[in-house]
Amino acid sequence: MDLEKFKVHGEPLIYGAMISIALATIGILVGLTYFKKWGYLWREWLTTVDHKRIGVMYIIAALLMLFRGGVDAMMMRLQTAAPEMKFLDAQHYNEVFTTHGLIMILFMAMPFIIGLMNVIIPLQIGARDVAFPRLNAISFWLFFMGAMLLNISFVIGGSPDAGWSAYFPLASLEFSPTVGNNYYSLALQISGIGTLMTGVNFIVTILKMRAPGMTLMKMPMFTWSVLITNIIIVFAFPVLTVALALMMFDRLFGSQFFTMANGGMDMLWANLFWVWGHPEVYIVILPAFGIYSEIIATFSKKNLYGYTSMVFSMVIISLLSFVVWAHHFYTMGQGVMVNSFFSITTMAIAVPTGVKIFNWLFTLRKGRITFTTPMLYTLAFIPIFTIGGVTGVMLAMASADYQYHNTMFLVAHFHYVLIPGAVFAVIAGFHYWFPKVFGFRLNDRIGKHAFWWIAISFNVTFFPMFFLGLMGMTRRTYTYSEESGFGPLNMLSFVGAVGLAIGFVILVYNIYWSTRYAPRDTTGDPWDGRTLEWATHSPIPAYNFAVIPKVESRDPFWESKRKNIPLYEDKITKIHLPNNTGKPFILGVIFFFLGFFLVFSMWIPAIVAGVGIIIMLAVMSFERDHGFYISAEEVAATEKKLRGETV
Amino acid sequence: MKIDASKPLEYSTEENSNKIFGFWVFLGAEIPLFATLFTVYFVMVNRFADGPSGPELFEIGPVLAETFLLLTSSFTIGLAVHAMRLGYKKATLVFMGITLLMGLAFIGIEIDEFFTYVHEGATLQTSGFLSSLFVLLGTHGAHVSFGFLWGVAIMIQLWREGISPATANKTFIFSLFWHFLDVVWIFIFSFVYLKGLM
């Protein structure tokens, strides 16, 4: 065994990261042992199949990744804050921008959204769980292990360094000889399989398990957005699966897919990557649109304007998302006809998106608006996202794109789309649904402080990049000369990044503060909500609804409060729930080791791990676990207790 | 668990019916997966560099045998599901056994074919064309191999428990998977081999 390839050499920063990872690990292990929480962790979290707990784990993982990706961002901004900075070297800078992109998109935005989906969707459709609770746990553990695999690359063997899009031939063994891009192909593959399973699970859940009376066109807008998103997942992720597998074959087994000789074709990778990559953008943005629709309707005290057109515009966006991928590489020589086609389809996306923006504005019109923290994020989203959209149309023009391509203008554009479009949305959703899960609201005053820091600093960070791009600064350059004149705007951008960091620290402080001091909410409906998730208690009992609600309108809970229509008509009967199981977690761990061994081409251990996976699948196939029942009396007692009555 | 007697056994509980629908959605994801592999193959088909091209490599004999085996096994798995619906445990097991044996023979021929290719100097590393050929055929072959193991596991459960809502459900879902592999093979047979032999 050659231990040399595990080591990462060079920088004090990396040694610092190693020490901090080691200390954090030791801290967690000692803490768990000291507070005797191992059993609790295993019984209540690692083995859970409850959609709410899985959702919470997704969100915790996403928040951790947000900070990991955020530290990457801070390092990049610091390195480019002034000309000729020596904070990071070129190689380290490459690794940092690559992992920043990968982590923020795949291990922060997606799991945050999937976490919110997990918590909210079964509640919004009046179901007791997702269709396949155990598969849901497998999805989570595959995602989590994929994320961990990518994160250890930083200290064991070296991170991927060819950009988050990993274009060939740069990402090939010839030009990226470290194991970094092996980590890329395997970590993404493992978490991608988990995401695909989530897609299948939620399509079945939404199509098959809605409460009686909830027709498709009576579904809440967030549920609609999630349904469409999952359909995109099911059609787009297999393309990524194939692309990553081919990459793995090229790098580990010497095949000739993306090579420069022997008939390989490097542009094939760019096409496959973006056939998945562009729909991926909509996978993170459409649920965000759903979250905003819920928040705007709730805090304007009006039903959503243009419900039908909202649904149709999302469907159209999802279709168009599959026919725009080549706009990511107009300059790579596919000719006028192809560029014209993709130019037109790309600009066409602005139309349904515009429809949605106007629908939100009309929902706000004459509404009784309350300016809560989630509403502030929503209101900030509209103008900021519009700037992102308009610059997107600028980039969509193929001939003009030759000027902007791969400049900081592009970087500014997609941050203007993704930060309000995804990050603001998940933060808004986090504040909005937090009381449902934990039974108390996050403090509004601290929340608004964090909001203003984040919203203002965001613009200070990214608006200068539009000008830097137009001045000719290319993306992914680790430094520049003083004569270029890029210095002052980059310094401004760095100042903004510090402000963003402060904003996020305040956001986390708010969680701490509110956990300790915020008044508990006993109503289950702190915002005067409209949809079914507010019709049950908070925190939510394991069975979600004691009685499955009957739905007659698009805002069933709102209507039932205003017009005194009873939601629950049936009597309480015994409720069936699935048992907890540790097998999804174990399966995830084996996948982690399979990935790790393949990264380092350790064939025998990899084969052992592969056989282990097959054995686990067989064990799960042979198991007969029929779950358990909660008796009607026990449900009635729990309900009384949650209502605050004495049993 | 509520059992709805008006439906076939494999659909009889809500969980079972969800599982079947979920598997259809999963097959929906398998279509873009294989479509991508076919696309890669069509892009690569003339990029054989210094290695052999399709017409130089393909032989019709083993391919016809593979086709015959897989298409017949699709018929026998249909018979297995039919017998299962009539409640004949033994017949179900026999037809499933025949299906899996034919699947095994298919895998055998395919492995032999791969060895022949490699022996003729046509390896995964030789050219873009061969990389895409091996990965396309290999992905299908891996599905058949996985299906074989899965089918054996289901047969053991059928043999132990008899035809219950759970085993009927598994058998039916397995049959969907097997038919799907057959459909993919028809595309491979037509657009890889027949087109390559022309």
Whether the CB of B2 is below 8 Å from some CB of chain A: the reply is no
Tokens matching residue A95: 């690794």
Q: Among A239-253, A302-316, A324-338, A351-365, which stretch is predicted with the lowest mean pLDDT? A: A324-338
Q: Are A560 and A587 in contact (CB under 8 A)?
A: no
Of B33, B125, B128, the CB nearest to A254: B125
> What digits encode the pLDDT tens for the residues A370-400?
999 999 999 999 999 999 999 999 999 999 9
Q: Do B128 and A241 touch (CB under 8 A)?
A: no
Q: How far apart are CA A412 and CA A545, in angstroms?
A: 45
Q: How far apart are CA A585 and CA A128, in angstroms?
A: 22
With the C-alpha atoms ordered A239, A244, A248, A251, is the resulting torsion angle positive or negative?
positive
| SS3 state of residue B127 | coil
Q: Do B50 and A256 touch (CB under 8 A)?
A: no
Rounded mean pLDDT of A269-296? Answer: 96
Instruction: Tell me which chain B residues have a C-beta less than 8 angstroms from the C-beta of A275.
Output: 36
Q: How far apart are CA A158 and CA A99, in angstroms?
A: 11
Whether the CB of B97 is below 8 Å from some CB of chain A: the reply is no
Q: Are A148 and A194 in contact (CB under 8 A)?
A: no
Q: How far apart are CA A175 and CA A161, in angstroms?
A: 10
Whether the CB of B131 is below 8 Å from some CB of chain A: the reply is yes
pLDDT > 90? residue A202: yes
Q: Do A237 and B29 touch (CB under 8 A)?
A: yes
Q: Please list, residue by residue across A79-99, b when 16 or more beta carbons sit within 10 angstroms of its beta carbon and e when fewer do.
A: bbbbbeeebbeebbbbbbbbb
Q: How many interface pairs between A and B have CB atoms less than 8 angstroms apart?
A: 119
> What digits encode the pLDDT tens for the residues A59-101?
999 999 999 999 999 999 999 999 999 888 898 899 999 999 9
Q: Are A211 and A126 in contact (CB under 8 A)?
A: yes
In terms of DSSP H, where are the helices of A439-486?
444-471
Q: How far is A539 from chain B (nearest CA, A)?
A: 27
> What digits encode the pLDDT tens for the residues A92-117?
899 999 999 999 999 999 999 999 99
**pLDDT at residue number A199:** 96
**pLDDT at residue number A10:** 61
Of A234, A254, A621, the CB nearest to B25: A234
Residue A647 pLDDT level (bands cut at 50, 70, 90): low
Whether the CB of B43 is below 8 Å from some CB of chain A: the reply is yes
**What would the DSSP string read from start to end of B18-45?**
HHHHHHHHHHHHHHHHHHHHHHHHHHHT
> What digits encode the pLDDT tens for the residues B134-182?
999 999 999 999 999 999 999 999 999 999 999 999 999 999 999 999 9
Instruction: Tell me which chain A residues have a C-beta less than 8 angstroms from the C-beta of B125.
Output: 253-256, 262
Whether the CB of B124 is below 8 Å from some CB of chain A: the reply is yes
Ranges of beta strands (E only) in A163-322 are: none
Q: How far is B128 from chain A (nearest CA, A)?
A: 5
Rounded mean pLDDT of A268-297? Answer: 96
The end-to-end CA distance of chain B, in Å, is: 56
User: Which ipTM score applies to this complex?
Assistant: 0.95
pLDDT > 90? residue A343: yes
Q: How far apart are CA A287 and CA A222, in angstroms?
A: 6
**pLDDT at residue number A36:** 83
Whether the CB of B30 is below 8 Å from some CB of chain A: the reply is yes
> What digits encode the pLDDT tens for the residues A506-543?
999 999 999 999 998 888 899 999 999 999 988 899 99
Q: If residue A277 lies in a helix (H) or strand (E), which one and from where to where?
A: helix A266-300
Q: Do A255 and B125 touch (CB under 8 A)?
A: yes
> What digits encode the pLDDT tens for the residues A584-634?
999 999 999 999 999 999 999 999 999 999 999 999 999 988 889 999 898
> Which residues contact residue A255 at a Cβ distance below 8 angstroms, ignoring those fewer than 6 apart?
A246, A249, B124, B125, B131, B134, B135
Q: How far is B74 from chain A (nearest CA, A)?
A: 23
Q: Do B25 and A204 touch (CB under 8 A)?
A: yes
> What digits encode the pLDDT tens for the residues A571-590?
888 999 999 999 999 999 99
Q: Are A97 and A161 in contact (CB under 8 A)?
A: no
Rounded mean pLDDT of A143-165? Answer: 92
Chain A residue nearest residue B2, CA to CA: A576
pLDDT > 80? residue A11: no
Q: How far is A504 from chain B (nearest CA, A)?
A: 37
What residues of chain B score a pLDDT lower than 50? none
Q: How far apart are CA A504 and CA A451, in angstroms?
A: 9
Which of A647, A436, A408 is closest to A544 using CA atoms?
A436
Q: How far apart are CA A601 and CA A444, in angstroms?
A: 52
Instruction: Tell me which chain B residues have a C-beta less than 8 angstroms from the C-beta of A168.
Output: none
Q: How far is B189 from chain A (nearest CA, A)?
A: 21
Of A200, A242, A256, the CB nearest to B131: A256
Of A235, A246, A268, the CB nearest to B135: A246
Chain A residue nearest residue B41, CA to CA: A257
- Matching residue, tokens 């019916």: B17
Residue A9 pLDDT level (bands cut at 50, 70, 90): low
Q: Are A538 and A527 in contact (CB under 8 A)?
A: no
Q: Do B128 and A256 touch (CB under 8 A)?
A: yes
- Cα angle for residues A135, A139, A144 (degrees, 5° grid): 145
List beta partners, residue A576.
A629
With the C-alpha atoms ordered B22, B27, B32, B36, is the resulting torsion angle positive or negative?
positive
Q: Do B128 and A262 touch (CB under 8 A)?
A: yes
Q: Are A404 and A330 in contact (CB under 8 A)?
A: no
Q: Do A621 and B22 touch (CB under 8 A)?
A: no
Most A CBs within 10 Å, among B31, B36, B41, B130, to test the A interface: B36
Whether the CB of B164 is below 8 Å from some CB of chain A: the reply is no
pLDDT > 90? residue A3: no
Residue A473 backbone zone (phi > 0: left; psi -120 to 50: alpha; other: beta): beta
Q: Do A255 and B134 touch (CB under 8 A)?
A: yes
Q: Do A246 and B17 touch (CB under 8 A)?
A: no
- Matching residue, tokens 């709805």: B4
Which of A136, A154, A167 is closest to A55 using CA atoms?
A136
Whether the CB of B22 is below 8 Å from some CB of chain A: the reply is yes
Q: Do A254 and B124 touch (CB under 8 A)?
A: yes
Of B21, B36, B48, the CB nearest to A242: B36
**Which residues of A sit within 8 Å Cβ distance of B?**
131-132, 196, 199-201, 203-204, 207-209, 234-239, 241-243, 245-246, 249, 253-257, 259, 261-265, 268, 272, 275, 576, 614, 618, 621-622, 624, 626
**pLDDT at residue number B118:** 94
Most A CBs within 10 Å, among B33, B130, B180, to test the A interface: B33
Residue A189 pLDDT level (bands cut at 50, 70, 90): very high
Tokens matching residue A389: 């959209």
Q: How far is B60 from chain A (nearest CA, A)?
A: 25
> What does DSSP say about strands A575-577 and A628-630: parallel, antiparallel, or unpaired?
antiparallel
